Structure 1
Amino acid sequence: MRSFVPLYLSRVFRLSIFCLALLAPSGLVRAGEPEIVETFGAADAPGRLVIRSTIDLRIFGQVVDAYLETRPDLQIVYQQWGSNDLYQDSVEGCHGGDDPADMVMSSGVHQMVRLVNDACALSYRSPATANLPSALRWRDELWGVTREPVVMVYNRRLVPPSEIPHTRFDLLDLLRPSLSRYAGKVATYDIEQSGVGYLFAFADSREATTFGALLESFGRTDAVATCCSAELISGVADGTYLIAYNVIGSYAMELAYGDDRLGVVLPEDYTLVLSRAVMIPKQAHHPVEAQAFLEYLLSSAGQTELQRARLIMPLIGEVGAEGETISETALRSISLSPTLLVALDRQKRSHFISRWRETFEVARPPESDPQ
């Protein structure tokens, strides 16, 4: 049995919304509130597990349901957060907050590495965690549990097949003409509001020779930076945007399979791959239950459920909306490692965001139309 408390509903579907300011110059800002809270399991269950996560409840709820079929003795409180809010909440919990989570799952993996580096996580090791690739575990305190490509989304009715951008070079070509019809019609995450958007942009800056050219083209053609996955994908579907760049692929593909307006491209020059990170906070009230759920996520049954939820995607030979596939050599996994701490270096981040501000006009979230 579930009790459901909607704290935020997107226009088309509920997705993780990444809408909080980054660290203020004078110190930490306080965390906001979860967007959605849902309780799974019987109210009188003796066991309890509090999960705070950026994964959309509509997608992850089926994984929780499947787990509780084997655990009738457990109640799970699932809170859906934006990545920056979740990071701030976890920092507060690490420094003595009175309401810590038992498990934190986030797409902002650079933020998770920072939390582990700051001694905010419990250590846990088992055969299942030890069998993870080194890129998906760090210090026996952080584990990658999903496999999601970072994609481009386009409107299939408004973008002709000859103009579908299969690479970043193709996207640059679309934006090159002085009177490009894609001017003002390309969107991506606002990296000041979105922790995962910042991560993707920073990864691009270190990976791609095209990054500087993309920023220049985005600025010259009035590309839009907006807060969140919901805005990007629904904006492409309704024609507000023709193309959205650097979108979490699991969300995009989930919607594209049921909406013939949406096409999805795994960029052929390279495709970033996100593995959302899990940690057990050192202040957790129910660490044993958190460990048990982690074991489930890494088990064959849990992996099957994550695949059904499209949170684990095969990628190699994956067929996109127009039949394209991606090669293994084009995949660029975002590793859980200390190298991600560079993304949170105050000076580097300040410089990076200043450069970003010079490029984008930031779109504001809608003030009405809660559907």
Structure 2
Amino acid sequence: MAEHRLSRRQWIGGALAAATIPRMALADDLERRSRAEGSLLIYSNMAEYNWQPIVMGLRRRYPWLRVDAMDMGPTEVFERYYAETSAGRRSADIIVSSAPDAWLRFAGQQQIAAHRSIEDAALPGWSKPLPGLHTLSADPMVMVYNKALLPPQMRPRGLRQLAAIAAANPRKFRHRITTYDAEVHALAYAVQWTAISAGRPGGWDLMAKLSPYVRVESGGATMLDKVTVGEYLAGYHISAVTVLPKMRDKGRAEIVSWELCADGTPVVPRGIAVTRKARNPASAALALDFMLGRTGQIAAAQGGLTPYRHDVGEREVPYLTLDGIARRIGRENLVMVGYDHRMVAQNTAFIRKWDSIFKRFDG
């Protein structure tokens, strides 16, 4: 009997085909079950304009799927889920939130479903920080300033430079710089804790230098609006997800400019997961896989989010990619907000010090 040997090409082709069959079968099974479910409920801290391109993409891919995406605070998404599921009511099938400390608590209560995305192999390790938890986007915090009120020599490109400009012009800048208040919600706390703890662009010493010129606020849209009308001259560590889509307004763009903080730009991973008590788990799995895929990442970018897949180029998106940010300011100046248990443990002490620095000047 003649011995039959497989060529290398035949062997690889057969192995790939064998590996593809379970994946295709899984996808077919999810679609079959999703058709029976028919709907998907998402809780997130994203506005309707952020979701619109993603939802349109999902409807094109899965036309039977009705998607409801609700916008609420980064911590409220979890609190509402806890309240509804404890009462036996329907709650979110997917949660999207940029609050790492809240995700740590959520995982600790075993509320993340054990979904392994078909996109996992194409995603960087840091984007999968906890079992079942993925990253929808990696969104930078930016600086904004009123260019109508600040001459070119006073327009900052970094936070240390902004502090130096303010110190040289104390009367002009007193109480006219703004940033998120670390005390008001989890996203603000995560950003400020990470930047200060990393010392990039500076720690508590830099905060003390800035404090006579800073008033803290609770929301990015409020800060941007107040910079636009001139109540503030500049703002720092403001979410690009809020800023960049609003800069489409030509009137605003004539008044306000934005910058990546050259001496340290915080980048916030926007966590996404299927919930353990999802009523529509198949639809949730399909939607999550779509959002993590290349097409979904480009759709997210259309809504103002920042894709982090290496196969999404800057020319394919209207704003930024994570690789593009690294090229602009240097990868060493990316300050990645992580899922660090110290962030939770140090909350009380950090907020006490934050208040002592930034709120002693109130009034």
TM-score bracket, normalised by the shorter chain, equals 0.7 to 0.9
Corresponding position: 1:330 with 2:325: no
Matches of 1:130 and 1:316, distance apart in 2: 18
1:352-367 residue pairs with structure 2 within 5 A? 352-361=350-359
1:70-149 residue pairs with structure 2 within 5 A? 70-93=61-84, 95=86, 98-149=89-140
Corresponding position: 1:193 with 2:196: no
CA distances 1:190-228 after superposition (whole Å, capped 9, x unpaired):
22222211110000121116221232133333x111110
Calculate the TM-score normalised by the size of structure 1.
0.77
1:291, CA displacement in angstroms? 0.6
Q: Contact (CA 8 Å) 1:84, 1:193: kept in 2 or not?
A: no
> More deviation in 91-100 or 227-236?
91-100
Corresponding position: 1:271 with 2:269: no
* 2:343 counterpart letter in structure 1: A
Q: Contact (CA 8 Å) 1:156, 1:261: kept in 2 or not?
A: yes
1:250 to 235, 241, 251: 241
Q: Identify unmatched segments of 5+ residues in structure 2.
A: 1-34, 307-319
Which structure has greater helix proportion? 2
Matches of 2:182 and 2:224, distance apart in 1: 16
1:236 to 227, 230, 235: 227
1:176, CA displacement in angstroms? 1.8
> More deviation in 262-271 or 202-211?
202-211
* 1:284 counterpart letter in structure 2: A
Q: Contact (CA 8 Å) 2:190, 2:337: kept in 1 or not?
A: no
1:117, CA displacement in angstroms? 2.5
* 1:342 counterpart letter in structure 2: R
Matches of 1:51 and 1:159, distance apart in 2: 41
Pairs aligned (count): 311
1:299, CA displacement in angstroms? 1.6
Q: 1:246 to 1:286 in 2, by over 3 A?
A: same
Matches of 2:134 and 2:227, distance apart in 1: 33
Determine helix, strand or coil for the equivalent of 2:68. Answer: strand
1:38-77 residue pairs with structure 2 within 5 A? 47-77=38-68
Q: 1:61 to 1:362 in 2, by over 3 A?
A: farther
1:210-221 residue pairs with structure 2 within 5 A? 210-221=202-213
1:82, CA displacement in angstroms? 0.9
1:250, CA displacement in angstroms? 2.5
Matches of 2:361 and 2:257, distance apart in 1: 23
* 1:344 counterpart letter in structure 2: V
Structure 2 match to 1:314: 321
Matches of 1:171 and 1:73, distance apart in 2: 51
1:144, CA displacement in angstroms? 0.6
Q: 1:186 to 1:219 in 2, by over 3 A?
A: same
Q: 1:362 to 1:293 in 2, by over 3 A?
A: farther
Q: Contact (CA 8 Å) 1:315, 1:326: kept in 2 or not?
A: no
Matches of 2:151 and 2:169, distance apart in 1: 19
Q: Radius of gyration: which is bigger? A: 2
Query: Which contiguous aligned blocks of 4+ residues in structure 1 show a shift greater than 6 angstroms?
Result: none
Q: 1:57 to 1:171 in 2, by over 3 A?
A: same
Matches of 1:118 and 1:243, distance apart in 2: 40
Q: Contact (CA 8 Å) 1:104, 1:279: kept in 2 or not?
A: yes
Structure 2 match to 1:39: none
CA distances 1:231-289 after superposition (whole Å, capped 9, x unpaired):
11111111111111111113212222432212111111121112200011111111111
Structure 1 match to 2:281: 287
Matches of 1:59 and 1:157, distance apart in 2: 28
Determine helix, strand or coil for the equivalent of 1:65. Answer: helix
* 1:333 counterpart letter in structure 2: M
Matches of 2:241 and 2:138, distance apart in 1: 9
* 2:353 counterpart letter in structure 1: R
What is the RMSD computed on CA atoms of the aligned residues? 2.5
Q: 1:94 to 1:238 in 2, by over 3 A?
A: same
Q: Contact (CA 8 Å) 1:100, 1:281: kept in 2 or not?
A: no
1:170, CA displacement in angstroms? 0.3
1:315, CA displacement in angstroms? 4.3
Q: Contact (CA 8 Å) 1:45, 1:73: kept in 2 or not?
A: no
- Calculate percent identity across the aligned residue pairs: 21
Q: 1:49 to 1:200 in 2, by over 3 A?
A: same
Q: Contact (CA 8 Å) 2:146, 2:228: kept in 1 or not?
A: yes
Q: Contact (CA 8 Å) 1:174, 1:180: kept in 2 or not?
A: no
Structure 2 match to 1:9: none
Corresponding position: 1:179 with 2:170: yes
Calculate the TM-score normalised by the size of structure 2.
0.79
Matches of 2:56 and 2:138, distance apart in 1: 20
